[in-house]
Amino acid sequence: MSWQQVADELIEEECVLCIVNTRRHARELFNLLPDDGYRIHLSAHMCAAHRSQVITEIRQRLEARRQGDKQPLRVISTQLVEAGVDLDFPAVFRAMAGLDAIAQAAGRCNREGVMGTLGHVWVFMPTESAPVGLLRQAEQCTLAMLKAGLLSDPLSPKTLEQYFMRLNSQGDRDKHKICEKLTAKSSPDAPLAIQFREAAESFRLIDDKGVAVIVPYCPVGQDESPISMLINTLESDPTAKWVYRKLQRYSVTLPESLAKALQAIGTLQVCAGQMVLLESHYHPCWGVELPDTLLSAERSVI
């Protein structure tokens, strides 16, 4: 399906959550929906304070609908909502992905079981596949099982076990030999030897480590972002721990290579020892705005 076709399907739904694989997909789909006040966007390029405010609004709208409000609600999100975000929609759309991600998405449909009927979950195949890497492998694994007729009961423990067996057989899950280093070995000199230090030095959950970037988000109801005041306070008193705690709510983690590229073009500035994004590059709807030339498919996830 093209994103326009997906958008057309979403417009037919009064209350729906649609989860896609990348921030770029979320933004493209969001922009295809009518600008009528009924669409909401979520991604990890929004700082925690921004996301919290949006999630609170979503919950309030969902509750209002349960109380009889007829205003539509259409939420476009990355995988951000698949873990730790308690939302309950009568309809969920999920771009093709790994079976585990699809199961998580389904957990946002009729989550509380209070609907008079079953909810509906649709999995659609976008024209663009998931980004290269584990996400693509998971998507291809799900498609292979689908074509082989192995998803008649897609969320059963047996099906999920088979899915993970297939997924973990693809590629090298331990290219740095972490498991080997953590396997106990024995010799005359060392009856029990485990390479903890070597394993710790080799381990990287994400190869391109993240950098916390302070963003000038302006909360609803305020005239300006509190970032300038907080940074000024930090410049006059670098030991003010409460300021650092406040700034955590206004930070977005970007890959180190991306942060360096943004700094090189003047989009990021160092103030009071903090990387601070220019106000012109933080959008009130989708958060951090990156030049397309800097946003690869891998960097666009979540």
Convert the pLDDT of each residue in 42-75 to its tens digit: 999 999 999 999 999 999 999 999 999 999 999 9
- Calpha distance 270→259 (Å, rounded): 11
pLDDT at residue 297, rounded to an integer: 44
Q: What is the mean pLDDT of residues 172-177?
A: 71
Between 30 and 198, residue with greater pLDDT: 30
Query: In this model, does residue 299 exceed pLDDT 60?
Result: no
Look up the pTM and report it. Answer: 0.84
Query: In this model, does residue 212 exceed pLDDT 60?
Result: yes
Phi, psi of 60 (to 5 degrees): -65, -40
pLDDT at residue 133, rounded to an integer: 82
Between 269 and 200, residue with greater pLDDT: 269
Q: What is the mean pLDDT of residues 243-264?
A: 91
Confidence class of residue 291 from pLDDT cuts 50, 70 and 90?
confident
Q: Which of 26-30, 195-199, 234-238 has the lowest mean pLDDT?
A: 195-199
Phi/psi-derived region of residue 40, left when phi > 0, alpha when psi is between -120 and 50, beta in every other case: beta
In which order are the strands placed within the sheet that holds 120-124? 39-42, 73-77, 15-19, 91-95, 120-124
- Calpha distance 1→155 (Å, rounded): 24
- Calpha distance 97→130 (Å, rounded): 7
Domains and CATH numbers, the chain: 3-129 (3.40.50.300), 174-203 (no CATH), 210-300 (no CATH)
pLDDT at residue 298, rounded to an integer: 46
Confidence class of residue 116 from pLDDT cuts 50, 70 and 90?
confident
pLDDT at residue 159, rounded to an integer: 97
Cα–Cα distances in angstroms (integers) from residue 227 to residues 47, 54, 161, 250, 254, in the given order:
12, 19, 47, 8, 18
